[in-house]
Structure 1
């Protein structure tokens, strides 16, 4: 399933967050595999949704790698993230730094849901005056909350590289 509307993305992001938190009642490995398959399809299509699928795997991939090890799912997640790194890792950009440069600790990934929601809703962007979810001065992504920098191919490749190397 590829979400077509922001409300559909909200459901997918909610599922990813439940998987990450460990309370998803559905088939979590299958949901993670679906994210990996959609990421690979998104890369092939050069889709603007690639950022959402990549960061979705950043949230959910560790579930099948560490929390509930599943060798087949882990291999697929690592393969998909390797494809991201290969396809996007050498892209040029004008950014001096990316959020992936300061990869957060696992407990700080809670804030990534806000990033995913921003990417899923075209009207939301950190460059706007809208307050961020759970805004506080110690957020690891402070001053980096723009669609452009989060969707930057180099940023996505950096997160993929970090997950593959974890």
Structure 2
């Protein structure tokens, strides 16, 4: 019994439900679970049970990053930061810790692992010994992973991962750009959303967002999009973006070819639109071009101008159709 009223295995199942259903926005029950877990961790961030509440918050971090209630994120962040501060410099003789290899797909194992950590007599068949998992420095590392999920880019010494929802966006755009939108997808709204993401992008994220707009622009100039307002949204975003590259120069003899298919270009853009995605690209790129070459400002300016030209022609075509009464 880890609490006065609920066994750990039941807590772990409740936390895992939040992990699996993270997209259930503004769920009061999920908010309470995170706030309770955060309060227990904050009460003793360096205590013997800190690993329990830290792993609990790590399991529920995707929901906190998605659309929680107002007080969830500050409470969770404060508790996790306190645990990291209290534990990260504790004495340790381990050469490595499990958190350094904790990829996103391993999150689904946390519920089972947590119960195994709590019951020292339970069978333990993991890649790292139980004592390494329970090491204060490992718990601090898990806290930083949770913080990085909630606030992407906030931790640099944890395995990189895409922001919550990024893979869903990739899949949505892939289906749309292949010509088979997922049920419930509003094509004009989705394309306009990507234009909005480019307009509001932070400087480091802007190149990736520009690649996404390039990809959806290829689709928007086809006959699948007949709403001039959607085309206008893309044009406005590109017109706001071009001045950022007005003084661009480079010394490259050429630039690497970008994906020629819309789905692949959009997926690359989404991945390069976050610190974690860029770190993943560099970690896994092999013989691919380094980011500073792939995202050369001169090449990006060319992309923006080419997309603007194609979209402008498409807008004129749609307006001509409307004026001549030939349909939209």
Classify the TM-score, shorter chain.
Answer: 0.7 to 0.9
Partner of 1:10: 9
Whole-angstrom CA distance in 1 between matches of 2:133 and 2:90? 14
Pairs within 5 Å for 1:79-90: 79-90=78-89
* Residue 146 of structure 2 corresponds to residue 163 of structure 1: yes
Whole-angstrom CA distance in 2 between matches of 1:36 and 1:113? 17
Over residues 4-58 of structure 1, what are the superposed CA-to-partner deviations in whole Å (9 max), with x where a residue is unaligned? 59x71111111001111118987101111100001112326x2x21111111110
Deviation for aligned residue 1:87: 0.4
Pairs within 5 Å for 1:1-166: 3=3, 8-22=7-21, 27-43=29-45, 46=47, 48-66=48-66, 68-105=67-104, 107-126=105-124, 132=125, 142-144=126-128, 146-165=129-148, 166=152
Kept in 2, the 8 Å contact 1:54–1:156? The answer is: yes
Whole-angstrom CA distance in 2 between matches of 1:117 and 1:26? 25
The 4+ residue runs of structure 1 with deviation greater than 6 A are 23-26
Structure 2 unaligned regions, length at least 5:
153-328
Partner of 1:138: none
Task: Please report the RMSD computed on the Cα atoms of aligned residues, expressed in angstroms.
Answer: 2.5
User: May I ask how many residue pairs the two structures share in their alignment?
Assistant: 146
Whole-angstrom CA distance in 2 between matches of 1:58 and 1:118? 17
Structure 1 unaligned regions, length at least 5:
127-131, 133-141
Whole-angstrom CA distance in 2 between matches of 1:163 and 1:18? 17
Whole-angstrom CA distance in 2 between matches of 1:125 and 1:15? 22
Over residues 119-138 of structure 1, what are the superposed CA-to-partner deviations in whole Å (9 max), with x where a residue is unaligned? 22231252xxxxx4xxxxxx
Whole-angstrom CA distance in 1 between matches of 2:94 and 2:119? 23
SS state of the match for residue 71, structure 2?
Answer: helix
Whole-angstrom CA distance in 1 between matches of 2:63 and 2:68? 7
Structure having the higher Rg: 2
- TM-score, normalised to structure 1's length? 0.77
Whole-angstrom CA distance in 2 between matches of 1:10 and 1:92? 30
Higher relative contact order (CA 8 A, sep 6+): 1
Kept in 1, the 8 Å contact 2:45–2:79? The answer is: no
Deviation for aligned residue 1:143: 1.8
Deviation for aligned residue 1:90: 0.8
Kept in 1, the 8 Å contact 2:88–2:136? The answer is: yes
Deviation for aligned residue 1:115: 1.1
Over residues 136-165 of structure 1, what are the superposed CA-to-partner deviations in whole Å (9 max), with x where a residue is unaligned? xxxxxx421x33111111001111122223
Whole-angstrom CA distance in 2 between matches of 1:4 and 1:124? 22
Whole-angstrom CA distance in 2 between matches of 1:10 and 1:26? 22
Kept in 2, the 8 Å contact 1:10–1:120? The answer is: no
